[in-house]
Chains A and B, each alone.
Chain A
Amino acid sequence: MPYQFTVSPDFSPEHLPGWYIFNTWLQRRSNEAIHLELYDSFQKLGSAIEADQVDLIYANPFDAAVLVRKKGFLPLVKAAGVSDEAIIAVHGDYPALDIGDLSSGIKVALPEAPDVSMIGMMLLEAGDLNAGNIRALMCDSYILIAKQLLQGNVDVGVFFAEAYDDLSNITKSKLKVLVRSQISVIHHTLMIGPKLASRRDDIQHSLVTMNQDEKGKHVVKSLGFDAWVTVEDEEMEFMIDLMDALAI
């Protein structure tokens, strides 16, 4: 039975080939059979985690608590210089300049990514908005959220900041950012499960040094960043505590 590797369903579609290339690299480096299994929803991923069908995962911070505290996963690495941030945006003509100008009853387009949604709701809370007094519209992609804003179907859109930055300049020129989070300590993490725990140190070492040769550098670039950096156990625990504090 190969080990099962998965990537949180919120990966950006343009990096899909990159994850397959990375999986191949990982198999060669670790000398283990590793199968990349992708789930198309957080629900399906959750069931797979619950059923112990995951051995390696590039995890959304939202899933970190269950993985570490219930399933015995350990952190390996995170993408260098990358953190999970949210942006609250409106149509350029929308009569609001900050969160305090928004009123209850507004329609909000939210992404499936649970961490971005949570940070977005936390930012909206400063304007006395919460799940009880907004109308939420869940959207499959950030392009779709932008579309809903441009077509005037929703008042507010919640974006993964990086995805917002990647929208076309034409689209961005018609939108207005009300707030961008600057949390910097919430991030996706590559984690290793109990069945592979004995390989943690050497796999972690391979990952943090992979940008030191041309081949490895190319592979990590195909994931959309420059290098992996170590995540210590306590950093992981602290991020989980922080997510806990923000979830209420």
Chain B
Amino acid sequence: MMHDMEVKDIVGDYKETILNLYGGLRRVVLYTEIETPYPDGKLIVSTTDITGVITHVNKAFVEMSAYTEDELIGSPHSILRHPDMPAVAFKDLWDTVNRGEHWQGFVKNLRKDGGYYWVKATVIPNIRQGKVVSYTSVRRKPSRIKVNECITLYPTL
């Protein structure tokens, strides 16, 4: 389950906005300007069912998102959606994986404490016996140059 973000969880000065998510879902999010650096050498991995509900996360995912594993499993992956991310990026993500292809892009994710972290994500369909049964995202440390390009580009999309 995904809930509105709560002031008690937030660290630092925050802004508030409402995200309009897929399927008419609305979520109040609170976000700060505090960046958590990507952990060196690690991959952040999660799997969703075909509707985008989280079914598996690794330890690095839990640590970086600041949620507990229990809070993440069963929640839509948009629990990490940051208001600075352009909607077209995720439309492209879903259009791409629905064609059975790999999607790659740079994503700014929202932590439970209102902070954020940048990743380079690769989303792939998990195909078993010829059928797409789930999706997996594997995230690695992004280069600073690429992140800076996105910081300039994303507000224009």
A residues near B, CB below 8 A?
Answer: 98-100, 122-123, 125-128, 179-183, 185, 237-238, 241-242, 244-246, 248
Contacts and interface: CB of A to CB of B under 8 A. Distances in A.
B138 A126 contact: no
Contacts of A127: 143
Interface residues of B, number: 23
Contacts of A185: 45, 58
B122 A246 contact: yes
Contacts of B136: 238, 241-242, 245
B124 A245 contact: yes
Interface string B119-157: 010101010100000001010111111100000000000
A245 B140 CA distance: 10
A183 B143 contact: no
Interface string B34-56: 00001011110100000000000
Interface of B: 38, 40-43, 45, 58, 102, 104, 120, 122, 124, 126, 128, 136, 138, 140-146
A125 B41 contact: no
Nearest to B38: A126
Nearest 9 Cβ contacts at the A-B interface: A126-B141, A245-B138, A128-B143, A245-B122, A181-B41, A179-B41, A182-B41, A245-B124, A179-B40
Contacts of A241: 124, 126, 136
B141 to A, nearest CB: 4
B126 A242 contact: no
A237 B131 CA distance: 13
Nearest to A243: B138
A122 B41 CA distance: 9
Contacts of A100: 143-144
A244 B143 contact: no
Contact of A125 (B43, B45, B102, B143): B143
Given A245-B102, A245-B124, A248-B122, A123 B41 contact: yes
